[in-house]
Amino acid sequence: MNGVNLSSPAGFILLGFSDQPRLELVLLLVIATIYILTLLGNTTIILISYLNPKLHTPMYFFLSNLSFLDLCFTTSIIPQMLWNLKGPEKIISYTGCVIQLYMLSGLGSTECVLLSVMAYDRFNAICRPLHYDVIMHPKLLQQLAALAWISGFVESTVQTSLVFQLHLCSHHRVDDFMCEVPALIQIACEDATFLESELSIATVLYVVMPLGLILVSYGCIVRSVLKIKLTEGRRKAFGTCGSHLIVVTLFFGTVICVYIQPKSKYTQNHKRFLTLFYSIVTPSLNPLIYTLRNKEAKWAIKRLLAREPT
């Protein structure tokens, strides 16, 4: 099969769920609804974190970063996906594919690092309460947020550059609903061993290591909480961490299934649904998880809706 260098302006065909036209119609309605909820939920989190002085805390600083990230993440996927779902055309331009891959890779890596930073914040809040305000000072918050965003997009720059140096098969038929590294590697017409190795290293650095740091942080948190004698104190301590732990489980659980499980573990259809979950469903659930489990957030939302002064 002839290879074609992707310096050409040819676009790509995103096959997605094109073999199931009835499912496409259902997905069109469901994903459009989820996208609206994602926009509303994450925008609300950002607004209450900014407008309410009581929420000018490290936890809400990082949460507003996560909400902004989720807004960018879903917006880089869903509009193109909805356009493809509504008709037989499944095309994305070459430039669009480059931008989408760059954004997805950068934002996904940033989220992994940001979730580990949020776990570090919860560790200090529970295990070092007397020194918390001194440790988590505004300058450190900005530095940690910058670390997450910069490291994520440094990795994305490297990965995107490597992917688009590959010679890909001339049909340009991508067996996915978006431009992702594994799907593009599958249509390479040359040996992609180096890129697969780079992807494995990136997975270790941006998935395995952040998850390991999160588990260590929560191991220390659990140990500290168990030393609290009062039941109410334990409940409050676990309550401040529960929302973050749910988000971590949902996000990392599906990412691991897609990127780390053996290739034979899931069919391509199963992988597409798992990718749908972590890239589209999880960002819509994050605001719901945090607000439902947090009295301060619910109170701030009521204030915002009532337009009462804080």
Pick left, alpha or beta for residue 172 (phi over 0 → left; psi -120 to 50 → alpha; otherwise beta).
left
Residue in 156, 160, 164, 113 with CA at minimum distance from that of residue 8: 164
Amino acid, res. 216: V
Answer whether 115's CB lies under 8 Å from 76's CB.
Answer: no
Pairing status of strand 3-5 against strand 167-169: antiparallel
Residue 267 has a pLDDT of 62
The residue count for the chain: 310
Answer whether 281's CB lies under 8 Å from 255's CB.
Answer: no
Residue whose tokens read 């989720």: 70
pLDDT above 90: percentage of residues in the chain: 38
Residue 104 has a pLDDT of 93
Question: Residue 306 above 90 pLDDT?
Answer: no
Question: What's the token pair of residue 114?
Answer: 């940001």
Residue whose tokens read 């009062």: 230
Residue 270: pLDDT band (50, 70, 90) is: confident
Residue 232 has a pLDDT of 67
Q: Measured in whole angstroms, how far is the alpha carbon of residue 136 from the centre of its chain?
A: 24
Which residues lie closer than 8 Å to 297 by C-beta, 6 or more apart?
Answer: 45, 48, 55, 290, 291
Chain segment 22-45, per-residue pLDDT in tens? 888 899 999 999 999 999 999 989
Residue whose tokens read 């140096």: 165
**Can you give the pTM of this predicted structure?**
0.87
In this predicted structure, which of 117-126, 219-228, 251-260, 290-299 has the lowest mean pLDDT?
Answer: 290-299
Domains in the chain, ordered, with CATH? 3-306 (1.20.1070.10)
